[in-house]
Amino acid sequence: MKVLLTGGFGNIGYETVKQLLEKGHGVRCLDLDTKANRRTARDFKGRVETFWGDVTNREDVEAAVKGQDVVVHLAFVLDVMWSEFYPKEARKINVGGTTNVIEAMKARLPQGQRLIFISSVGVYGKTQHLRPPLKVSDPVNPSIVYAQHKIECEEMVKNSGLEWSIFRLTFAPTIRPSNLDMVYVLFGLPLDHRIDFVDPRDVGLAIANSLTSGEAWHKTLLIGGGPRNQILYSEFVKVALGYLGQFPEGAFAPSGTSPPIDWVDSSESQRILSYQNFTLRDFAKAQQAALGPGRYLIPLVAPLVRRWMLQQSPFYRYYKRGKRQQESHRAR
């Protein structure tokens, strides 16, 4: 099959491209022309057709979808905080981009062509006070702009007249060293928060397997890591970041705050797509391997890297200020 990925050089896109190529599909990526994306594209030189463009530009999207059998729509603003501060700009990219993809497909592709929309379990809102796991049938209650846009786009996809599938992803952090501007996200979850970790390589496999599945279409599927990857965030930090040393509790969001993420019932998606292969420890090994020869310097540079990361935490500043105040009171 010929498959277009919008946002194809991001975290999930990168792993999906690898799986699609392994299965013999023709792959085209539409993504922004940035230095980071250029570096990623070099990994697939000669094997992937690249369209540098923007989903907010209708002409770019129309050119990219031409001749494709399946479109995997990944392009979305991932910086949740940016979306909260600039909802109109985020909506132009998220909702406007999805509108362009749908309309371009309807105009360019023959009847019956397929669209896979990548959504998020964030659409359920804050659920940590509820009994897990989440099910597809549970009511949505998006509490942030990012999730509100996901729900709006889901409805557009369902009503598009296209063959469609919607994947609501859980917590799928990147393996590769990538966007350093978003390191702060690592500190945005409380350590006692339930997370459903799914390796991005497994997400890529789920997407690739859906192309030949007769059961994946006209369904909303929860894509998670399965029971063995349903953990507390403290375990993720210990396993995935432990090689950098111990991070203080005060660097993370306070207990009781409830970002929209939780354990999910992914049994149906696993039955249909057979994708859950990697554990958190597998992910940690792959993450360190992705550092290349630099991983041998970790014992030397870990304290510096950890200090820099702590400076990116919005919570750590308040934590340090509180400790200084406590010490000041004790000294009196």
pLDDT at 180: 61
Cα 17 from Cα 208, distance rounded (Å): 9
Cα 9 from Cα 5, distance rounded (Å): 9
Residue 74 has pLDDT above 90, yes or no: yes
Residue closest to 68 by CA, chosen among 33, 94, 101: 101
Residue closest to 62 by CA, chosen among 27, 109, 18: 109
Write out the E strands in 193-251: 194-196, 220-223, 230-232
Q: Can the peptide bond before residue 142 be classed as cis, meaning omega within 30 degrees of 0?
A: no
CA distances from 138 to 119, 135, 143 (A): 15, 5, 15
Question: What tens digit of pLDDT does each residue of 139-187 get?
Answer: 999 999 999 999 999 999 999 999 999 999 999 998 877 666 668 888 9
Residue closest to 77 by CA, chosen among 149, 15, 29: 149
User: Which residues have CB under 8 Å from 316's CB, separation 6+?
Assistant: 187, 248, 250, 251, 310
Question: What tens digit of pLDDT does each residue of 2-12 get?
Answer: 999 999 999 99
pLDDT at 234: 97
CATH number listed for the domain at residues 2-179+197-231+260-297: 3.40.50.720
Confidence of residue 38 (pLDDT cuts 50, 70, 90): very high
pLDDT at 181: 62
Residue 13 has pLDDT above 90, yes or no: yes
Which amino acid is residue 73, in one-letter code?
H
pLDDT at 34: 94
Unique residue bearing structure tokens 């001749």: 67
pLDDT at 85: 94
**Average pLDDT of the residues of the chain:** 92
Confidence of residue 327 (pLDDT cuts 50, 70, 90): low
Cα 274 from Cα 277, distance rounded (Å): 9
Domain spans of the chain? Answer: 2-179+197-231+260-297
Confidence of residue 62 (pLDDT cuts 50, 70, 90): very high
Residue closest to 231 by CA, chosen among 124, 118, 133: 133
Phi, psi of 214, deg, nearest 5: -80, -15
Helix (H, G, I), strand (E, B) or coil at 116: strand
52: left (phi over 0), alpha (psi -120 to 50) or beta: beta
163: left (phi over 0), alpha (psi -120 to 50) or beta: beta
Residue 329 has pLDDT above 80, yes or no: no
Cα 221 from Cα 234, distance rounded (Å): 27
CB count, 10 Å around CB of 293? 6
pLDDT at 291: 82
